[in-house]
Structure 1
């Protein structure tokens, strides 16, 4: 390979690297590895927001995500969204979300998520919001949620279709 080809290959590699979405750093807490911590931006005046992340249990015993806290919100709970007879329903996970040994649990739009109530200010795209997660065994773990676009479906921005957001047909009676 001549010098020009090497420079061209290096430039192509650098361009590909720069184009990759930035991701939150991996956080290790006991046997757990927490990755892809993010949230959706919220409009001004919104009082609720959603947070998402992936938790992998590399240990031999289950652990449980019990909830969280953060200066951004008055209250934070683990919630689940699921279809029931054609209606999207959301409910808190009262006893926490179990992460079985050797398994990975993904909190994502339309499924499990961190529900942040009484937001003190809007979540703005590009911000990093610190929250403290509480696990039964791993204890308290601080992570930074990378705030993505309002309708983002994944940490890199993903689909902005708005599916899985907190609007539409939901049965809020059980909240």
Structure 2
């Protein structure tokens, strides 16, 4: 065999192992995505992650071809108003534990959607972990999920401080 062919085989085996290791480190359940309307410029993905490994890890980023920008977000309440904030440091996921991304809480925020999120479509999302690396998941669009109760208006905060006065995102049922 040529050196090129052997190098390609080694590279393929290495990439397969990395993807397998990431898949084995985390189990994804109960994922779905939605947007506020057919013409919405933003959408969100909600995912439950179970850390199946023996070591703590941290979800530090996300990406998707469905949007121009993707960030990890959460909501903070300030004077009865829910504010959405970017969580730059990501979400810790302890060994053997899970985190639930739910409306009104932690989520993957997709900004500048490249098209509408249509019922039943699948959205590819790449989750990036500090230790486990990248993990691609296919998130089904489910526009029929009922909103969480008890969440009022939200404003988009700046860089995780919750104090920003960015553009409003409507009520919590929209994201």
Task: Pick one of 54, 58, 64 that aligns with 2:48.
Answer: 54
Q: Secondary structure at the match of 2:128?
A: strand
Shift of 1:117: 0.6
TM-score (norm 2): 0.71
Q: Contact 1:109 / 1:163 at 8 angstroms: preserved in 2?
A: no
Q: Secondary structure at the match of 1:29?
A: helix
In structure 1, what is the equivalent of residue 154 of structure 2?
170
Q: Contact 1:126 / 1:148 at 8 angstroms: preserved in 2?
A: yes
CA, structure 1 residues 130+45, in 2 after alignment: closer, same or farther (shift >3 Å)? same
Number of equivalent positions: 139
Shift of 1:111: 0.4
What do you get for the CA RMSD once the two structures are aligned?
2.2
1:131 aligns with 2:115: no
Q: Secondary structure at the match of 1:46?
A: coil
Q: Secondary structure at the match of 2:46?
A: strand
In structure 2, what is the equivalent of residue 87 of structure 1?
81
- Deviating above 6 A after TM superposition, structure 1's stretches of 4 or more consecutive aligned residues are none
Shift of 1:95: 0.9
TM-score (norm 1): 0.71
Residue by residue over 1:84-130, the C-alpha shift from the partner in whole angstroms, topping out at 9 and shown as x without a partner, is 22110111111111101121100111100000010000100111111
